[in-house]
Amino acid sequence: MKLRLRGNTLRLRLTVGEVAALGAGDEVTEATLFPDGSTLRYRLRADGAEALASQHSQTTAQGLVHEIVVQVPRGDAAIWSTSTVVGFAGEEPMVMGPLNVLIEKDFDCVVPRAGEESLDTFPNPNATDKRVAG
């Protein structure tokens, strides 16, 4: 799962396996470890409640852990996981303004980039198939 942040927008991009896991009701989790011992963990889970994004921090034996938890309605996750719909969005009111949350399927890059992984990504609908039949 990729996390992208820009201003008050949080974007999660999921691979094929992660979309299937979320659709089955499983939680998808990633973490980034920093040299100072702190961790940024982000989780996406299907829940029976309305869509919700939350964040919190806690101190552990390893250091400070910042955590972002995004919950989506279980039914929406199940339907989305088997559909051709690219993503869905929600907005969680916050004290300092709205946080926009977008959840999307991660597609292959049309033009491959050095260092960019394309493992378990969805076929890009904008890519042209340049293979030669033989």
pLDDT by residue for the chain (134 residues), tens only, comes to 999 999 888 889 999 999 999 999 999 999 999 998 889 999 999 886 554 555 555 555 556 778 888 888 889 899 999 999 988 887 766 666 688 888 888 887 766 667 666 778 887 777 765 443 33
What was the pLDDT predicted at 113?
67
What was the pLDDT predicted at 123?
79
Crossing angle for the helix pair 74-81 and 16-23, nearest 10 degrees?
A: 140
Cβ–Cβ under 8 Å, residues 84 and 107: no
The alpha-carbon radius of gyration of the chain (Å, integer) is 17
What was the pLDDT predicted at 131?
40
Name the residue with tokens 């008050």. Answer: 8
Quick one: which H or E segment has residue 42?
strand 39-47
Of the candidates 1, 4, 38, 45, which has an alpha carbon nearest to the alpha carbon of residue 22? 45
- Separation of alpha carbons 60 and 41, rounded Å: 13
Q: What is the pTM of this model?
A: 0.76
